[in-house]
């Protein structure tokens, strides 16, 4: 971290983990995100809610530059992670994604063994010096993913053979195995049944001890259950951002109130 020559922006950013200012995203001719400003704090769960197509997933994918893999997507504005602009040409998006892990809407285990799925990130980043260390990383990640007890006896079995909820927890374990600082979750429970959803939500609450978690969700109950801060997006605008309790009890913006009471969606 740089010292006394910090810009005012960096000073603000110090309090928060991620600081986005004036973010605009275009998909071809579509203006998907319009001038969004968000501060995401460390060791907090931040939920993005809003109707379908409001840009919450797009904004999430800006935070680890996953939008770079889409040709027609253009991102403008500034996103600071620990005070450093992640869209600076000096930043390697590949390194950034190791620091900002991501869990997707649909469980996407690789067609490999459970062990190899979790060891994938540590292997490509050279996090383990030897097999014993790698075993340890894999076990720790699977424990954090709350799936260790279910799979410890069949680490060599294919990850695609697990149930949907187990697959999603395996994907979370795979993401935490690279020791990220931020974990982005794009509707991680939308493909899961209520029991698996409850397990993943419990897991998200535990992950808060170590990481800054950002979760996109369609379920307002889920946002209320797991998050401390909530951002409401509507038609590409960030309408309201604040403490979850406040958003759900006394929203300031009429659109937020309409949405959480189910009048728009």
Partner 1 sequence: MTFNFLGNPLTLTLLVLSVAGVGYFLARRRAMARAGGDARVLHSLPNYYGMTAAMFAAVPALGVMVIWLLAQPMLIQNAVVPLLPAAATETAGTTSLVLSDVNRVAGGLTLAIEQGVLDAPAIAALRDDPSTLRATLAGVGVALGSEVEPYVLAAAETTRGLEARWGLVRGLVVVALGLAGLALAVRAADPAFRARNVVERGMMALLIAAASLAILTTLGIVLSMLFETINFFSLHPWQDFFLGGNWAPNFRGNSELSILPLLWGTLYISIIALMVAVPVGLFAAIYLSEYASPQLRSAAKPLLEILAGIPTIVYGLFALITVGPFLVSVFGAGGLLSAEGLRDGDALMSGATAVITAGLVMGIMLIPFVSSLSDDIINAVPQSLRDGSYGLGATPSETIRNVVLPAALPGIVGAILLAASRAIGETMIVVLGAGAIARISGNPFEAMTTITTRIVSQLTGDTDFASQETLVAFALGLTLFVLTLGLNVVALYIVRKYREQYE
Residue from 56, 144, 169, 174 that binds partner 1 (CB under 8 A)? 174
Residue from 47, 81, 155, 175 that binds partner 1 (CB under 8 A)? 175
The alpha carbon dihedral of 64, 243, 253, 11 has a sign of negative
Residue 64 touching partner 1 (CB under 8 A): yes
User: H or E segment at 182?
Assistant: strand 182-186
Residue 125 touching partner 1 (CB under 8 A): yes
Residue from 25, 38, 171, 189 that binds partner 1 (CB under 8 A)? 171
Task: Specify the 3-state DSSP secondary structure of 174.
Answer: helix
- How many whole angstroms separate alpha carbon 250 and alpha carbon 253? 9
Residue from 52, 69, 130, 209 that binds partner 1 (CB under 8 A)? 69
DSSP secondary structure letter of residue 113: B
Residue 56 touching partner 1 (CB under 8 A): no
Q: Which residue has the tokens 């950002």?
A: 214
Residue 214 touching partner 1 (CB under 8 A): no
- How many whole angstroms separate alpha carbon 5 and alpha carbon 124? 35
Contact 172, 143 (CB under 8 A): no
Smallest gap, in angstroms, from Cβ of residue 223 to partner 1? Answer: 22
Smallest gap, in angstroms, from Cβ of residue 243 to partner 1? Answer: 29
List contacts with partner 1 (CB under 8 A).
64, 66, 69, 71, 94-99, 101-104, 106, 108-112, 120-121, 124-125, 171, 174-175, 178
């Amino acid at each position: 971290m740089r010292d006394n020559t910090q810009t005012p922006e960096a000073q603000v950013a110090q309090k928060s983990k991620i600081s986005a200012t004036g973010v605009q995203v275009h998909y071809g001719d579509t203006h998907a995100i319009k001038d969004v400003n968000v501060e995401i704090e460390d060791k907090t769960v931040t939920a993005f809610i809003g109707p379908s197509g409001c840009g919450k997933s797009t904004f999430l994918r800006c935070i680890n530059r996953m939008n770079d893999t889409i040709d027609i997507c253009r991102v403008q504005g500034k996103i600071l992670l620990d005070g450093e602009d992640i869209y600076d040409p000096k930043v390697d998006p590949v390194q950034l994604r190791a620091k900002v892990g991501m869990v997707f809407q649909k469980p996407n285990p690789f067609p490999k063994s459970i062990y190899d799925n979790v060891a994938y990130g540590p292997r490509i980043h050279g996090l383990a010096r030897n097999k014993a260390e790698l075993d340890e990383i894999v076990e720790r990640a699977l424990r954090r993913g709350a799936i260790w007890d279910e799979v410890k006896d069949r680490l060599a079995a294919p990850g695609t053979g697990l149930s949907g909820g187990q697959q999603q927890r395996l994907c979370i374990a795979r993401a935490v195995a690279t020791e990220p600082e931020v974990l982005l979750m794009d509707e991680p429970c939308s493909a899961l049944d209520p029991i698996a959803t409850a397990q993943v939500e419990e897991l998200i609450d535990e992950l808060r001890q170590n990481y800054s978690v950002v979760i996109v969700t369609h379920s307002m109950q889920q946002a209320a259950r797991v998050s401390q801060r909530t951002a409401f997006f509507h038609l590409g605008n960030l309408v309201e951002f604040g403490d979850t309790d406040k958003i759900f009890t006394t929203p300031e913006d009429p659109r937020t109130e309409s949405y959480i009471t189910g009048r728009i969606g």
